[in-house]
Each structure stands twice: as C-alpha cells, then as structure tokens.
Amino acid sequence: MPAKASRAAFGEALLELGATDDRIVTVDADLSKSTMTAAFARTYPDRAFNLGIAESNMLGIGAGLALTGKIPFVCSFACFVVGRFETIRISVAYTNANVKIVGTHAGIAIGEDGYSQMGLEDIACIRALPNVPVIQPADELETRQAVAWAVEHQGPVYLRLTRQSLEPVCPPGYRFRLGRWLVLRPGTDVTLIGTGGTVFNCLEAATRLAADGVSAEVVDAACIKPLDEELLLASAGKTGHVVTAEDHSIAGGLGGAVAEALAEALPTPMRRLGVQGFGESGDAKGLYAKHGLDPAGIAGGVRKLLGR
C-alpha cells in the first residue's frame, strides 16, 4: 500500500461502510473538504449535515442523532472539536451518546498553519473522560480497521487522524482491537512506543539504533485509552526501559498515560518525547527535527535514556 493520510483513509472507509449501513451519518462544521467527509456527503447527501462554522452545535446535533439510533461521525480539526470540550463532556460523554468524534490535523505535522490549527492537547482532554476510547491509527490499514470497529462499538469514540501521509506499518491481515497494541519489531533493550504519525519514525529510529547495537522493541499504540497494559508491562519488564513518542503535547498524552500505568504497576526508567510549549508555523520536517520527533530525534531520546 502506498503512503496515505489517515484522514483520507477515513473518508474512503466511511464511504464504503455507508453503502451497507444507513445508520452512518456525517456531521461537519465547514471543514468537510479537509476532514475528507466531502465524498460521503456527495454520495449520501441525505445523511450528511454541514452546520457551518459552529462546532458546539455540531456536537450537540450529533449527540441528538445518536440518541435516535444514527451513528454520527462528527468531524473537524482536532483542536476545534476538542476545543468544545464541555459540550463533549456533557452532551456526548455523560449522555453516553453513540457519537464518533473525529479530530483531524493532529499535531505539529500540519506545519505552516501554526499552533491555532494544531491538535496538541486533544488526547489529554479526551483521555480524562471515563467512557471515551482514544484511538490514533498509524497507517491506512489501521485506519480502515479502526473506523469499522468504531461503527460496531456502542458508545462514544474519539478518532485522532493526520493531515499528512503515513507510510504503511501494519502487516496485512492485521485486526484492530480495543485496548490492544501491536509489536512491530521485537527488541530487548528498550520499549519504543509510538502512535499515529510517529510510529513509522520509531521504526526508522530502531533501524538506526540497531546499527549501534541497541535493540529497540517498537510498539504501535493505536489505542491510547484504554492502554494495552498487558503488552506494556510484559515489554517493559523485558527491556527495562520505555520511551514514548507522540505528536501531541508532552503533557497528558500517550507518554502521560504510559507513565501513569508504569508508576503504579511496574516503575520503569522512561522518557517521554512530545511537543514542548506551543506549536508554531514551519515545515513539518523542520518542526519534527526541532521537537525531536524525527528518526534522529527519537533515536537520540532513546540513547539519552539508556546512557549510550
């Protein structure tokens, strides 16, 4: 499979699933060209609602639709949709409405538009809600799997998607399961956990590290909530070192979740790689280098933790 943005894979998956499941509807806020629901809207105009630039209303209408048996995919940039956190908190989560919240344009990888358009705190926010799984697929296959899973799952879901293309990382035949991670490359010295756009860079970093004799076990954590504690503890127990890499604020994201789990169950030396401070405008490559999320930066983070 060629590289593909997870938002594009999402748009295609939704279009296909919509053909056989007429409970699926889309709810947008003037970003359907960017969230990639535009094709669904063209094909099923009666099941697509573009409510203008009004994300709170979009979420509320999505919740109402869900309470009548529809399966609404409520879509915007991650920053704008999760920006309406209190509406998510009450109308979606507390109501336990079967709403699939889709936040695209995750992280600094969007580049030039700058901080105001970057989803950087969304994982932290949604993770604090008791009943909303947080899912960030790493490639096209995993995105298709996650979308199909979300349709079947009863209850709210948060899907975090990228604007940028993602190289394929999951093996053919891979199946997404809630709370299950995937070891992409076995290793013995350090557990290197990525999610979404950083997974491929973790694999690249592992190749670099291998050249220096460091064996990294690379894990794709598509499910940030709930974590795969079983896999985490088994891998951390084996390697004795954990590094997380995510295109999200260093606070409260995957790294925070992993640290919380390890601190209670198996205190393990660890290092979190993520975005420090506000994001900013720039080319994605330069930003990843600045924040240590490119292969060299991730490998550097691992070396620092291991002291070599």
Ligand X SMILES: Cc1ncc(C[n+]2csc(CCOP(=O)(O)OP(=O)(O)O)c2C)c(N)n1
> Catalytic positions, please?
55
From the CB of residue 230, how many other CB atoms can be counted at a distance below 10 Å?
Answer: 11
- Name the DSSP class of 171: P
Among positions 249-268, residues that touch ligand X (CB under 6 A) are: none
In terms of Cβ atoms closer than 10 Å to its own Cβ (0-12, 13-18, 19+), residue 289 is middle
- Is residue 165 at the binding interface for other proteins, with CB under 8 A as the rule? no
d(CA 176, CA 195): 14
Nearest residue to 138 via CA among 109, 108, 170: 170
Nearer to ligand X, 75 or 236 (CB): 75
> Considering only 63-71, 147-155, 254-262, 281-289, which stretch makes contact with other proteins by CB under 8 A?
281-289
Write the single-letter amino acid at 124: A
CB of 187 vs other proteins, minimal distance in Å = 33
CA separation for the pair 271, 240 (Å, rounded): 12
Residue 31 is a binding residue for ligand X (CB under 6 A): yes
217: CB partners within 8 A, 6+ apart: 183, 185, 186, 187, 188, 190, 191, 192, 235, 238, 239
Among residues 53, 90, 263, 265, the one that binds ligand X under rule CB under 6 A: 53
**In the complex, what is the shortest distance from the CB of residue 73 to ligand X, in angstroms, rounded to a whole number?**
17
Q: Does 80 bind ligand X (CB under 6 A)?
A: yes
Residue 114 or 155: the one with the smaller Cβ distance to other proteins is 114
Q: Is 64 in the site for other proteins (CB under 8 A)?
A: no
> Considering the rule CB under 6 A, would residue 56 count as an interface residue with ligand X?
no
SS3 of residue 74 by DSSP: strand
Instruction: State the binding string over 1-30 for ligand X (x if CB under 6 A, else -).
Output: -----------------------------x
Number of other CB atoms surrounding residue 307 within 10 Å: 7
Which of ligand X, other proteins, none does 51 bind, CB closer than 5 to 8 A by kind? other proteins
Binding site for other proteins (CB under 8 A): 28, 30-34, 38, 50-54, 56-57, 79-80, 83, 111-117, 280-283, 286-287, 290
Binding site for ligand X (CB under 6 A): 30-31, 53, 80
